[in-house]
Amino acid sequence: MNILLVALGGGIGASCRYLLGAWVKSRLKQRSIPTAMLMVNILGSLFLGLFFGWVYQEVPQMVYDDLPFLVFAVGFCGAFTTFSTFSVEAVTLLQKQKKRKFITYVGLSIGGAMIAFLIGMFLGSQVMKFI
């Protein structure tokens, strides 16, 4: 049953990633760094932080039997964000000898995702104070 819940969340997350990526690419001019996946990964980190802050008020340990964790964190957020595409895009910038763009993309992706996660954790935990 757990695998079906992960698959359900993952299917929704992957579909949302595709739709958001397509929407961003249709709205923005070609950028020097891969903007669509940068936005997707930062937004996904924010979602995960909001979820952890709201549901657990911390980064949970050993929650692989918790259904909300499986559906949202593993399924949705796991499929919505994409480390593999980030890696391909970063390596492509290196192969094209665009070292500054590579450093910018990697720094914004990793730093932005971590900051977004922390902001999400804070905001999610604040919601619990009002409920």
Q: What tokens were used for 46? A: 């924010």
| Residue 78 known to bind ligand | yes
Task: Label residue 66 left, alpha or beta by phi (over 0 means left) and psi (-120 to 50 means alpha).
Answer: beta
Contact call for residues 106 and 35 (beta carbons, < 8 A):
no
The CA distance from 101 to 106, in Å, is 8
| Residue 49 known to bind ligand | no
Contact call for residues 111 and 86 (beta carbons, < 8 A):
no
Quick one: three-class SS letters along 79-95? HHCCHHHHHHHHHHHHH
The CA distance from 43 to 39, in Å, is 6
Known binding residues: 78, 81
Known binding residues for Na(+): 78, 81
